Structure 1
Amino acid sequence: MKRRAANPFPGVSPAPDRHGKMRWRLRKKGVPQTYLPGEYGSIEFRKAYEAALQGSRAAAMPSRHQYGTFDWLIEHYKRSPKWKKLRPISQYNLGKDFDRFSKAYGKRRVATLRTEHVEAIIGKKADTPSAANHLLKLLRRLCRFAMRKKLIAVDPTLDVERYAENPDGFHTWTEDEISQFEAHHGLASKAVLALRLILNSGAARQDVVKLGRQSVRHGRIAYRRGKTGGDVDLPILEDLEDVLALVPGDRLLFLTHTGDRPYKPTTFGNWFHDQCIAAGLPHCSSHGLRKAGATRLGNAGASELEIMAFLGHRTPDEARTYVKKFNRKRLSDTGMEKVSRAKREQDLSNPVEKLDIHRRKALKEKGN
């Protein structure tokens, strides 16, 4: 009697769909049921099979924290496929948010969280509405993951309202503020170099710290945005060319820390804000310069796609706000010009009536 060959992929069985197309289903204890792509035994099939098993092994890893606490939840969130799909910069920023939250609330049990508790937690940041809303977003992320982990049945953040905040977000630098900053620090300063780099390239702080001679070619400056992955390729304008010419020729990066060490994005952001304070502009930030650059484009009549290319976005949604502001300003100018023109035409068409008005005033003053 022939022995049946062992299944090289334990748990996998054929499962034709309703159209008769063959599919392969993985059903194995401790592994979520899933369908595997590709032909049986193909490279794509093998990778999906191994990934499913690896996910099961990761879930089975012992936890360093007590079950059901926020620390436990955060630990398991960082093992999830959702976390692995995030870009490195997003993992870094979200990880910092998790660390701050864990320090204050990590030992608390998720199941005891109520709507009034959420309101109290974010209420501590009521003086900074954007920070309060950012914390609420973090709590919602954790609570939705907790529902998937069966720790809670209802999301306690659902009925919590966001704080009203400035719809324009970060303050957009005005031309007068740009001039004030440059006058205070001087053209040859690192501060003005940083300002003009951001203003003329649209680079965010995590991007501007990586710009250097490798980014410049044939009179253009190019880079890939760390946050969106969008490619930016722009001509170097004269005011940027003036400050780049002052950078020492043996330096690769344009902006460096003490001892020519590269900046970390957060360190650069803190340093630049100190330069803003020194120039009497404590309300200004590096991000506001990106918006100032986009505003310049909008005021010059640039299209949504042109502003999108400058900001390195994948969609024109944010760029549309700058175009709308410009269009609103242009329409108000043309509207007021029509009023002024109509008034002039009316005055020219009624010279006698206007003369009679002046004559009556003169006679009245003479009679008095």
Structure 2
Amino acid sequence: MTKSPLLYVTGYRDRHQKIRWRFRRKGYAVHYFKSPYGSKEFEREYAACLQNDPQPIAGRKLIPGSVSDVISRYYADNAFLDLAPATQKVYRGVLEQFRTAFADTAMRSFDAERISRLMTAMRHKPHAAARLRKLLAQLFVIARRAKLVPHNFDPVRDTRPPKAGSGGYHRWTEDELAAFEAKHPLGTKPRLAFDLLLYGAQRSGDVRLMTHAMIARGRIRLDQSKTNNAVDIPIVEPLALSLAAGPLGASTLIETKYGQPFTEKGFYGMMKDACIDAGLPHCQPHGLRKAAARRCRESGCSDEEGMAITGHKTVKEYRLYAGSDARPEVADAAMRKVMANRSAKVATNGDQTVV
């Protein structure tokens, strides 16, 4: 075998004793080069090999009890099949990345110590770590049920994910909202997307695929793609003005310059570029949903009222979005009530004393 400085490329002699070259990378299809080594054509073949997707797991032999085996079992289980398609996509992304790193590793080898090391290695991505830990717990449920690990083997229970200090995506402030509006006036595509995200209070995945039928008769009506939760909220004046100014697409409200719905990455890229142009490189589109929840909280909306707008299913999740920042005006009002109550008690006690 002849070594090459190119990663995954090795040479070998065929039956005519001529040196041939091949690309071999674990999990990927083997490629035998047709062009002479070092030529431009060879370089193009090599680049194509690096850009190829991994072979489908279904086409590879599974080792019983391995990470690949348990992930495949999870995909076929109701615990996964009952999830919304959008959630399945997110979970697949996490699990396939984990499978790439540990495909043939036995699940029983992931004890609490090893999982803790994984969590520590992901301290810079606390939310991703927490999601991986949650999915590992699901995998061990499957593994225990299939008797691939001992019935009492639950290493995830003895671990903790890294603490998330920032609370996820940045929640836009009023000054940041005003800066974006100043840079992107009505009648521009970024402003239309911005207003739908802010005044519609929905996720980017729902906004980018929103149709004309979903905004009929002055209301936004849709089933959220992530949770299947139904929302029915009024279109307020700022959003109505934005919709009137457009530009509206033919099939979806927001379309690319080619008249097609935005992909997930395309929509994010368009909004991220718009944030940078407005001098807000730290802001992201999902933070507008959090800003909408914050406005509900600051306006004195109850949890139930705010959740009817954002579509959150749990109070805990809604409050995470709405925030828990210091609110001096509420504290002032509360303290006035405390002092008024104290004064009333003093007056009552004084009256009793006089009697």
Normalization by structure 2: what TM-score? 0.71
What is the alpha-carbon distance in structure 1 between the residues aligned to residue 69 and residue 245 of structure 2? 52
SS of the residue corresponding to residue 64 of structure 2 reads coil
- What residue in structure 1 maps to residue 260 of structure 2? 261
What is the alpha-carbon distance in structure 2 between the residues aligned to residue 97 and residue 256 of structure 1? 29
88, 105, 110: which is aligned to 1:108? Answer: 105
**Are the equivalent residues in 2 in contact too, given 1:305–1:319 (CA < 8 A)?**
no
- What residue in structure 2 maps to residue 129 of structure 1? 126
Matches within 5 A, 1:143-292: 143-153=140-150, 154-166=153-165, 168-248=167-247, 251-292=250-291
SS of the residue corresponding to residue 150 of structure 1 reads coil
CA distances 1:155-209 after superposition (whole Å, capped 9, x unpaired): 2222112211137432211110111122223333211111110111111111101
Identity %: 33
What is the alpha-carbon distance in structure 1 between the residues aligned to residue 280 and residue 120 of structure 2? 28
What is the alpha-carbon distance in structure 2 between the residues aligned to residue 324 and residue 104 of structure 1? 36
CA distances 1:29-75 after superposition (whole Å, capped 9, x unpaired): xxxxxxxxxxxxxxxxxxxxxxxxxxxxxxxx998312121111111
Q: CA deviation at 1:329?
A: 4.3
Identify which range, 170-179 or 274-283, moves more after superposition: 274-283
1:338–1:69: structure 2 CA closer, same or farther, 3 Å change rule?
A: closer
1:323–1:211: structure 2 CA closer, same or farther, 3 Å change rule?
A: closer
113, 117, 120: which is aligned to 2:117? Answer: 120
**Are the equivalent residues in 1 in contact too, given 2:186–2:245 (CA < 8 A)?**
no
Q: CA deviation at 1:130?
A: 1.8
CA distances 1:302-349 after superposition (whole Å, capped 9, x unpaired): 2222111101134444445678949954431225668999xxxxxxxx
**Are the equivalent residues in 2 in contact too, given 1:298–1:322 (CA < 8 A)?**
no
**Are the equivalent residues in 2 in contact too, given 1:298–1:326 (CA < 8 A)?**
no
Q: CA deviation at 1:273?
A: 2.8
| Structure 1 position 138 matched with structure 2 position 132 | no
- What residue in structure 1 maps to residue 302 of structure 2? 303
87, 91, 94: which is aligned to 1:90? Answer: 87
1:177–1:262: structure 2 CA closer, same or farther, 3 Å change rule?
A: same
What is the alpha-carbon distance in structure 2 between the residues aligned to residue 265 and residue 176 of structure 1? 27
77, 80, 102: which is aligned to 2:77? Answer: 80
Normalization by structure 1: what TM-score? 0.68
SS of the residue corresponding to residue 64 of structure 1 reads coil
- What residue in structure 1 maps to residue 330 of structure 2? 331
What is the alpha-carbon distance in structure 2 between the residues aligned to residue 173 and residue 327 of structure 1? 16
SS of the residue corresponding to residue 259 of structure 1 reads coil
Q: CA deviation at 1:113?
A: 1.9
What is the alpha-carbon distance in structure 1 between the residues aligned to residue 84 and residue 270 of structure 2? 25
Q: Which has the larger radius of gyration?
A: 1
What is the alpha-carbon distance in structure 2 between the residues aligned to residue 250 and residue 319 of structure 1? 31
CA distances 1:217-266 after superposition (whole Å, capped 9, x unpaired): 22222222112222222222221112211224662311112411112334
- Which structure has the higher relative contact order (CA within 8 Å, separation 6+)? 2
What is the alpha-carbon distance in structure 2 between the residues aligned to residue 245 and residue 326 of structure 1? 35
SS of the residue corresponding to residue 157 of structure 1 reads helix
SS of the residue corresponding to residue 176 of structure 2 reads helix
What is the alpha-carbon distance in structure 2 between the residues aligned to residue 339 and residue 137 of structure 1? 43
SS of the residue corresponding to residue 67 of structure 1 reads coil
Letter in 2 for 1:119: S
- What residue in structure 1 maps to residue 96 of structure 2? 99
> Stretches of 4+ moved more than 3 A in 1?
61-64, 314-331, 335-341
Which ranges in structure 1 are unaligned for 5 or more consecutive residues?
A: 1-60, 342-368
What is the alpha-carbon distance in structure 2 between the residues aligned to residue 327 and residue 160 of structure 1? 32
What is the alpha-carbon distance in structure 1 between the residues aligned to residue 252 and residue 293 of structure 2? 24
